[in-house]
Amino acid sequence: MSVKEDALLLDSQLCFSLYSTSLTMTQLYKPMLEPLGLTYPQYLIMMVLWEEDGIGLKDIGARLNQKSGALTPVMKRLEEDGLLNRVRVPDNERQLDIRLTPKGNALKADAFKVNQCIIESCGMPMEELIELKNTLDKLRDNLSNA
């Protein structure tokens, strides 16, 4: 096979390695998040709020690299489940601040256990995981600026 043909092999593609690894990772999370009553997208939102409670919907979207409209149905479900409140900002009716409820705050300890299980499942030393994460962050930033 020529170099040109090798370049088009699925297993030669960086994008496929990233895609398939991401799918595998989210599938690993699914049964661990079920007891918490969270989907993976909900878990990501909760992690942002555990880090910084009471921030705007647009800020959450920016942190997750998602548009606000895509997050709204997920937020509504979290609110229905009693994990957060969406509060209109008095000075700006168009702005929503998202605040954790006591129930939402209480999930943080269980989420930490999920995080530890995921790290163990990776089967790699912590130093390598940190290096991989940093490399992926750099790749994401480079692609965003391309």
| Residue 131's CATH number | 1.10.10.10
Whether 108 is in a domain gets the answer: yes
> Each residue of 90-146: pLDDT tens digit?
887 777 889 999 999 999 999 999 999 999 999 999 999 999 999 999 999 999 998
Distance CA 22, CA 10 (A): 16
Tokens of 68: 């606000």
Whether 5 is in a domain gets the answer: no
Q: 106: domain range? A: 28-145
CB atoms within 10 A of CB 126: 9
- The DSSP symbol for 35 reads G
Distance CA 57, CA 55 (A): 7
Whether 8 is in a domain gets the answer: no
Whether 98 is in a domain gets the answer: yes
> Each residue of 36-82: pLDDT tens digit?
999 999 999 999 999 999 999 889 999 999 998 899 999 999 999 99
Whether 22 is in a domain gets the answer: no
pTM (2 d.p.): 0.88
Whether 51 is in a domain gets the answer: yes
Between the two ends of the chain, the Cα-to-Cα distance in Å is: 31
- Counted domains in the chain: 1
Whether 2 is in a domain gets the answer: no
